[in-house]
Amino acid sequence: MSYPDARYLDENGEASGRLRRTTQGPDLVIGKDPGTQVHYLGTGESTNGAFGLYRWEMGPRPGGPQPHFHRTMTESFYVLSGSVRLYNGKEWADGNAGDFLFVPEGGIHAFRNESGEPASMLILFTPGAPREAYFEELAAIAAEERQLSPEEWTELYRRHDQYMV
């Protein structure tokens, strides 16, 4: 394996780093009491499409997506605190602080917090797809307590490269 083609071609470097402080509040809250707090550490837009990185802080109530896959991106999960149930397409396992799951394109996966305690993890996807729109749409559906038909869910998922199994 070799390095990819250069994306920066100037002879001199530049001061272009971005610092996000841990004291900055969440960018999105999904659900209630306290729900899931989502911190957009790096979005596809802010990383020039290289990756997306979120800190995902789940409250003690059970929640998380059902098994699914993506056609256009990989997804990785790194548990920071608590216990998160991780699904690798074959089996569920309790992921604890320091545990990591990588899922390539097409890999069936899911995660859930079923511990009854708060849990947090990092979610990394490559390349940097515009996943914020998907999560913001889910948050709006939850906040408005809307009930989508199976066809509406399928369309929502399709628009955001999410294929349920």
pLDDT of res. 34: 81
- The residue ranking higher by pLDDT, 106 or 7, is 106
Token pair belonging to 148: 């989508």
Distances (CA, A) of 41 to 36, 66, 67, 117, 147: 15, 24, 25, 23, 30
pLDDT of res. 23: 94
* Domain map (residue ranges) of the chain: 28-164
Token pair belonging to 25: 């509040």
pLDDT of res. 143: 92
Token pair belonging to 81: 């605190």
pTM: 0.93
**Where residue 41 falls among pLDDT bands split at 50, 70, 90?**
very high
Q: Where does 28-164 sit in CATH, by number?
A: 2.60.120.10
Q: CA 84, CA 152: separation in Å to the nearest integer?
A: 28
